[in-house]
Structure 1
Amino acid sequence: MELQSRGCPAGGPAERHHGNVNRGTTDEALLPAVREACLGDARPPVPPRPLIGQSWHRVRLRGVDPETGGSSPRLATDEVEERRQRSPLGGLLTHLREGLGSVVDVERHLMAVTDAEGLVLWRQGNRGVLRGADRLGFDVGASWAEELVGTNGIGTSLVERRPVQVRSAEHFVRTHHAWSCAAAPLHDPRDGRLLGVLNVSGPAPAFNPATLPLVTAVAKVGEGELRVRHWESVERLRAVAAPMLARVGGRALVVDRDGWAAAVTGMGPVGRVALPKSVQAGRAWLPSLGLCSLAPLPDGWLVRVEEAPRAELVPSRVVLDVSGPRRWTVTVAGAAGEWSQELSPRHAELLYVLARHPGGRSAAELAADLFGDASRTVTVRAEMSRMRRTLAGVLSHRPYRFAENVDVRLLVPPRPADLLPASTAPVVLADRARR
């Protein structure tokens, strides 16, 4: 019997799109009884918060043991160090610690920063709290992904991609009930990519409800710092790009490593060019520009737009991969080569709907598919406009659809229940419920 039976709803769009999903609607003293009833398929004294009910539902389907949880091998010290070096979050630690210092030092909590897979890369806090965390396996190199250790601030925030607070017995695993936690995702402002999670955990009786707003605010400050550093690097690149482009004929531009334009010649203004996931020197097909020649620069790329026969610019195949729990990609291929990029949750939902409806969908139909509200066409049109700029030649409109003569392949999880796990789009919920 599934979690949503007998008063333990797994949640739906009405619960997610209205109000605060972290709102405390259940008295702390009732939480153990609510959990026991839901896990025993009985009627709870009050239903769990929708956010928690949805998470419990997911982890039950994953087979997580509610008494002991799961485990994963700890990363070796050298691999932890390698991930730290690759992560932009290492440069934010001072800002994050300063923002949370009073909570971590005075209130006997700990701060943890993870990567996008839920692996703990940094930890700081009171020695006693750290020893307690060690006993739970909450140490550097451990994974706190939801599918491994059940409902928790880190793992559930990664799935939901939003700030999350998990109180005592809202944790799926019993051994975690002495703790409460608040977590917020950290995104790269350059491309929206999920970088990891900022988390504060501590003894449940001492946990302050104001911790979640504080963690959320500090995470936003950290993202703002990344944004400032990015634009400073673009300005430095612009200083060397302008004289370089003055010597280049035709259409060309200089972009940083994330595709943000520093200077342009022979064409209109460009904000950002979506580069392939793995960029290499040589010829490459970029959906927004066509066939291009890429040459490496110390901090970016020189992109020359080539004139090519129309047949070389037309994409012939699209692979939409939504089979993973947290990362989704679209790959476009044609005579000029192949291009691949990660998708945001919303764009993954939109492309999934279009792949499921080859004949196309109107803005009203897409709004109903995604929000259960056919009137939200302004939001749909804005998102589709952004995607069509990136996927020029791949998407058509009136109605919105993949271009003719493009072979579209959709890769989904082996189990329907794992499809876009945090999505509450009606079309996804319906497909996820299929058995």
Structure 2
Amino acid sequence: MSAGGPVAKAPVDVTRLAAVDAARAARLLDEVRAATLAGRRTRLTPRPVIGQSWERVRRSGVDPEHDVRAGLLTREELERRRAASPLRHVLPVLREGLLSVADVAHHIMVVADADGRVLWREGHPSVLRRADGLGFELGADWREDVVGTNGVGTPAVVRRPVQVFAAEHFVRSHTTWTCTGAPVTDPRDGRLLGVVDVSGPLRTMHPATLAWVDSVAKLAEARLRELHLASLERLRAVAAPMLARLEGRAAVVDRDGWTAAVAGMPYAPRIALPKSPSPGPGWLPALGVCTLEPVADGWLVRAGAEPDPDDGARIVLDLTGPRRWTVAVTGSAGSWTHGLSPRHAELLYLLAAAPAGRTAAELAGEVFGDPARTVTVRAEMSRIRRYLGAFLDHRPYRFGADTEVRVLLPDDPRDLLPHSTAPTVLRGRGTPPGA
């Protein structure tokens, strides 16, 4: 960030220093923050995850010297979001894993949705009052590009657990606070559901909080997986006798397209449905022309003739958003859009950047830095092929020769897939690999 070029020696080792002397760690971080934001020479730098966040926040126009209080959600909108959030099903897991310790240690537990809106907030009363003073209230917007580096917005961007210790916060008024957040993702498709965060005054926090919060977030994801499997089992009991009476290709799926049972066709874990499915004839990417009929907690999908590969299709890979990405397909049979997980967005970008294609080993080397991890790559590409199907070739993996592919990128290249460390993505950001 310094106009004179990089002069720092090493990032601050917050974890080790805070475990020994939290007050000294806070003073050192305050010096690093002040020097870095002023562009002055300093012998130490912020940790990479923090320094990269500060760069994003500066580009967003957040003022480090002034609070930003985005408008709170209305009570009606807050309740609507709570009712729609899958995180409501795992509140008991989060409370059991976090609240008892948080209350004793003078922390609070915060659960935010994928948009960074605080949906639930519980914990020690005095800390809740202090959080009110920071604008950390129910319905508040704590996205990184709104309030700066923090334990809700930053984990949502980088898609991994982050502890933001004291002056690692970008906004000065937050620097007496420490937040530790972990993303909670949908175990079915990797979609971000929200962030669980434990926050409190600087003196009450410990570096081990990061592992604790991450573990509880993973327990919540495991519970969501159990609930999903149980719901499919219930739907399967309804689907089996129904499909036994039908001829031709058919499937029963839940409201999100996850398959409970099939007849006359290969099993696929998920059938991509329209964003707002409705009864009647339609077109689905995996099946072609078909008919949807509502059943209990899902849909009966009755397929027509086998679909042919669609020549001359157009694919638009939209990577403009900081947290959400999509692939849209337009062909002779219709149009559809599919939301992408961080890994699928990364893999499709890599394929778009290499029209001649990439082998599984090449993709593994790009994504994981290990060409031997081909099993993982093949599993992910198999999942991608479930919704892109005929539009992707393999051996090597690539978009079909008759498919027009367009990639929409962020206005600022540095905002491209901020979670990714793949060398091709780093070059797309203008960041040398290893920097």
Same fold per superposition (TM over 0.5):
yes
Moved more, 38-47 or 76-85: 38-47
Corresponding residue of 2:377: 380
For 1:116-135, list aligned pairs within 5 A: 116-135=114-133
> Given that residues 163 and 212 in structure 1 are in contact (C-alpha distance below 8 angstroms), is that contact kept between their aligned partners in structure 2?
yes
For 1:169-208, list aligned pairs within 5 A: 169-208=167-206
- Structure 1: gaps spanning 5 or more residues: 12-20
Q: Using a 3 Å threshold, how does the CA distance of structure 1 residues 2 and 349 change in structure 2: closer, same or farther?
A: farther
Corresponding residue of 1:259: 257
Corresponding residue of 1:277: 275
Q: Return the alpha-carbon distance in structure 1 between the equivalents of residues 356 and 350 of structure 2.
A: 11
Q: Using a 3 Å threshold, how does the CA distance of structure 1 residues 420 and 71 change in structure 2: closer, same or farther?
A: farther
1:231, distance to aligned residue in structure 2 (A): 1.5
Partner SS, residue 292 of structure 1: strand
1:173, distance to aligned residue in structure 2 (A): 1.1
> Given that residues 10 and 44 in structure 2 are in contact (C-alpha distance below 8 angstroms), is that contact kept between their aligned partners in structure 1?
no
- Say whether residues 1:316 and 2:310 are aligned partners: no
Q: Return the alpha-carbon distance in structure 1 between the equivalents of residues 377 and 228 of structure 2.
A: 29
> Given that residues 111 and 200 in structure 1 are in contact (C-alpha distance below 8 angstroms), is that contact kept between their aligned partners in structure 2?
yes
Partner SS, residue 429 of structure 1: helix
Q: Using a 3 Å threshold, how does the CA distance of structure 1 residues 52 and 383 change in structure 2: closer, same or farther?
A: same
Q: Using a 3 Å threshold, how does the CA distance of structure 1 residues 206 and 310 change in structure 2: closer, same or farther?
A: closer
> Given that residues 394 and 402 in structure 1 are in contact (C-alpha distance below 8 angstroms), is that contact kept between their aligned partners in structure 2?
yes
Corresponding residue of 2:413: 416
> Given that residues 10 and 57 in structure 1 are in contact (C-alpha distance below 8 angstroms), is that contact kept between their aligned partners in structure 2?
no
For 1:104-183, list aligned pairs within 5 A: 104-183=102-181
Q: Return the alpha-carbon distance in structure 1 between the equivalents of residues 191 and 4 of structure 2.
A: 32
Corresponding residue of 2:78: 80
> Given that residues 311 and 402 in structure 2 are in contact (C-alpha distance below 8 angstroms), is that contact kept between their aligned partners in structure 1?
no
1:296, distance to aligned residue in structure 2 (A): 1.7
Task: State the Cα RMSD in Å.
Answer: 2.5
Moved more, 192-201 or 33-42: 33-42
1:5, distance to aligned residue in structure 2 (A): 4.1
Give CA deviations for 1:153-174 in whole Å, capped at 9, x if unaligned: 1011100111111111111111
1:281, distance to aligned residue in structure 2 (A): 2.7
State the TM-score, normalizing by the size of structure 2.
0.90
1:309, distance to aligned residue in structure 2 (A): 6.4
> Given that residues 315 and 394 in structure 1 are in contact (C-alpha distance below 8 angstroms), is that contact kept between their aligned partners in structure 2?
no
1:195, distance to aligned residue in structure 2 (A): 0.7
Q: Using a 3 Å threshold, how does the CA distance of structure 1 residues 7 and 343 change in structure 2: closer, same or farther?
A: farther
Partner SS, residue 72 of structure 2: coil
Partner SS, residue 391 of structure 1: helix
Return the match for 1:292 from 290, 304, 308.
290
> Given that residues 25 and 49 in structure 1 are in contact (C-alpha distance below 8 angstroms), is that contact kept between their aligned partners in structure 2?
no
Q: Using a 3 Å threshold, how does the CA distance of structure 1 residues 92 and 362 change in structure 2: closer, same or farther?
A: closer
Partner SS, residue 152 of structure 2: helix
Runs of 4+ aligned residues of structure 1 deviating over 6 Å after TM superposition are none
Corresponding residue of 2:394: 397
> Given that residues 99 and 123 in structure 2 are in contact (C-alpha distance below 8 angstroms), is that contact kept between their aligned partners in structure 1?
no
Give CA deviations for 1:367-417 in whole Å, capped at 9, x if unaligned: 454455656545433432332233110111233211122122221112222
Q: Percent identity?
A: 58
Q: Using a 3 Å threshold, how does the CA distance of structure 1 residues 398 and 10 change in structure 2: closer, same or farther?
A: farther
> Given that residues 8 and 53 in structure 1 are in contact (C-alpha distance below 8 angstroms), is that contact kept between their aligned partners in structure 2?
no
- Structure 2: gaps spanning 5 or more residues: 19-24
Q: Return the alpha-carbon distance in structure 2 between the equivalents of residues 3 and 273 of structure 1.
A: 52
1:232, distance to aligned residue in structure 2 (A): 1.4
> Given that residues 320 and 408 in structure 1 are in contact (C-alpha distance below 8 angstroms), is that contact kept between their aligned partners in structure 2?
yes
Corresponding residue of 2:336: 339
For 1:324-335, list aligned pairs within 5 A: 324-335=321-332
Corresponding residue of 1:52: 50
Corresponding residue of 2:430: 433
Moved more, 288-297 or 407-416: 288-297
Q: Return the alpha-carbon distance in structure 2 between the equivalents of residues 25 and 304 of structure 1.
A: 62
Q: Return the alpha-carbon distance in structure 2 between the equivalents of residues 145 and 65 of structure 1.
A: 14
> Given that residues 5 and 41 in structure 1 are in contact (C-alpha distance below 8 angstroms), is that contact kept between their aligned partners in structure 2?
no
Q: Return the alpha-carbon distance in structure 1 between the equivalents of residues 298 and 3 of structure 2.
A: 50
Partner SS, residue 45 of structure 2: coil
For 1:65-76, list aligned pairs within 5 A: 65-76=63-74
Corresponding residue of 1:239: 237
Corresponding residue of 1:6: 6
Query: What is the aligned length?
Result: 424
